[in-house]
Amino acid sequence: MRRISILLVLALITSLMFTAIAPVYGQDMEDKEEKDATEEILVGDTPPDFSGITLDDVDFTLSEMAGISPVIVDFWATWCGPCRAEMPILNEFAMDYGEEVMVLGVGTWMPDTETEELWEFIDEYELVFPIMHNIESDVAAAYNVTGIPTVYVINTDGTVAGVYVGYHEGFYDELVELLGLE
């Protein structure tokens, strides 16, 4: 009898564990299916539109840049070594071509990062281009970003001109050539 009671208690505990875990597990599976369903954004595609407020309190909407200038959207994080290596290159590009091309940093995968830490990062690298803190990382998810840094170069017509994943030498020159700048 005692053995049956122990088995019943174990069965009850196991059942409760599965009941408690199922909603979380199901949500994870739904998120995975959504992410897997997100198509890769390729050169020539129109990327997802997004809006946000930069750390300088300036409203930004990607689609509003169509017809005005190309936009370089850089997905990065303060803790990312390759992102730190890329920042001076993007900053130099923004200083040299900021009147012709908009550079926008989208801080992603940093839900616990405080705004003060971002300002410290901006000050450390003396960044001259706007930064948006995408706390929920929903913009990165819409762009199917799976590694950082990831850079999307958007033409004036609103289509993707180039996609770069990871840090690499010669990035500055590649941007100049891609955008037809001198």
The answer to whether the predicted template modeling score (pTM) of the entire model surpasses 0.95 is: no
Q: Catalytic: 83? A: yes
Is residue 175 predicted with pLDDT exceeding 90? yes
Q: With beta carbons less than 8 A apart as the criterion, state whether 111 and 135 touch.
A: yes
Indicate which residue of 80, 87, 103, 118 is catalytic. 80
**Domain assignments of the chain as residue spans, ordered by start:** 1-37, 51-178
C-beta separation of 149 from 74 below 8 A = yes
Closest CA to 84 of 107, 116, 115: 107
Residues 6+ apart with CB under 8 A from 80: 148, 149
Give the Cβ contact number of residue 113 at 10 Å: 16
Task: Exactly one of 83, 102, 154, 175 is catalytic; name it.
Answer: 83
- Average of per-residue pLDDT across 124-132: 96
Name the CATH code of domain 51-178 (choices 3.40.50.720, 3.30.40.10, 3.40.30.10, 3.40.1390.30). Answer: 3.40.30.10
pLDDT greater than 60 at residue 150: yes
| 120-123: long-range pairs with CB below 8 Å, 24+ | 121/78, 122/55
List, for residues 36-95, the tens digit of each pLDDT value.
435 789 999 999 999 999 999 999 999 999 889 999 999 999 999 999 999 999 999 999
Alpha-carbon torsion, ordered 161, 60, 30, 110, to 10 deg: 100
The alpha carbon torsion through 145, 147, 151, 152 (nearest 10 deg) reads -20
129: Cβ–Cβ under 8 A, 6 or more apart, which residues? 90, 91, 94, 98, 102, 103, 104, 105
